[in-house]
Amino acid sequence: MMSPELSYNPPVYAVPIHREKSSLTPMRHRPLSRFFASMLALMVMLGGTSSAAALDLLPSFFDKPAILKSIWKEQEQYVALTTQGKKGMAFPRNAHPATLDGADIRDALKSVEVWSEGGFFRNEEAHPIFTDAQCEVLGRYLADALLKAKSNEDVIFNVRGYSKLLLDSAKEKEWTSGRVFFVDGKLNLIIGTYHLKKDRGIKGAEASAGILDNYNDLVFDPGNRTSSTSKMEGRIVSSTGITIPGAADSGRNDWIVIAVPTAAQAYREAQIPEEQKRTAEKSKQEAAKLTLERREMREEMARMRQQIKAMQGTGASVGAGSNQSPEERLGILEKLHAKKLISDDEYQRRRDAILKDI
């Protein structure tokens, strides 16, 4: 059995099948000298391994997703359109093209977390699947890809991140790849490659041969609908707008269904400090109370105006000629004055008239 230090993942080669030229560089466009130098370094390193085992480690040139259209590419990173699955397999149609807000996709992806250790509580080492930088890239280009995708096409991606080494003094490159499609009003995300790192043994062997930053030996697996290929440890956190429907039935932890606007809003609200939330809630309650008081005041003023209008229509006066008692007339007069419906002079004149009638 081969040592873990000698583990080897075959490279990814995009084989365009569409008439439109793919921007993902196929193998024949890569420098052959560099590629074979990498293979030579690998075979030297695997000198003690049997030839059959060594052949099993060589790259598979044919079992790769077909790139129909490249949306974005930067070195080994990409966002592209591909088929829903292998030829001959039928899948339900996607709701493509789909119009989603890039900022919503970005924040929804930021809310996707994984427990690195088992447990049912948030304080048990949960961390985001994607970095903020990866979410920025995916939010922008997934929105574009979903808008351009056909109903029988999925979106695949590969984005680079960095893990910390040597007490945070150094960083190591790692990659996460996946498949995305939109159906039933929700974004479906399948994780294929999760935090993939280049084998250090192969990296060292290549460095001794003068080969640096070579990723030909890496397979960026976008995942598939039929079975899980992800090596992701832990399990996805179910949260607002985030569900893992296959976890209970098939044990698939790599297939995530996201209600994008809901998850994005929940993420944004979670970023607001508690003190600010309490202040905002208090302000909201005070504003509601003030609105109620103003409505009650308007209703009271309207009632007072009706009383004045009724007395004027009958020729009655607040001060005299009314069937109300002096106490009732003085009470009405006080309310009218308090509500600023009559002036101070008018108030005093009418008050004197009422008292004169006693």
pLDDT (tens digit, 9 = 90+) per residue, 205-226?
Answer: 877 888 877 887 788 999 999 8
Q: What are phi and psi of 189, to 5 degrees?
A: -125, 120
Strands of the 153-165 sheet, one edge to the other:
69-74, 77-83, 153-165, 170-183, 186-196, 255-258, 242-243
pLDDT tens for 63-89 read: 578 899 999 999 999 999 999 988 778
Question: Does the pLDDT of residue 55 top 60, yes or no?
Answer: no
Could you identify the residue written with the tokens 């990723």? Answer: 215
Buried b (16+ CB within 10 A) or exposed e, 168-181: eeeeeebbbbbbbb
Question: Does the pLDDT of residue 31 top 50, yes or no?
Answer: no
Question: Does the pLDDT of residue 158 top 50, yes or no?
Answer: yes
Q: Cite the beta strand spans of the chain per DSSP E.
A: 69-74, 77-83, 113-115, 126-128, 153-165, 170-183, 186-196, 235-236, 242-243, 255-258
Alpha-carbon distance of 349 to 352, in angstroms, equals: 5
For the segment 51-57, the average pLDDT, to the nearest whole number, is 39
pLDDT above 90 covers a percentage of the chain that reads 33
Q: β-pairing, 69-74 with 126-128?
A: unpaired
**Cβ(22)–Cβ(69) under 8 Å?**
yes
**pTM to 2 decimal places:** 0.61
The letter for the amino acid at 322 is S
Question: Does the pLDDT of residue 25 top 50, yes or no?
Answer: no
Q: What are phi and psi of 249, to 5 degrees?
A: -80, -55
Output the DSSP codes for 252-272. Answer: --SEEEE-HHHHHHHHHHHTS
* Tokens representing residue 104 in the block: 């919503």
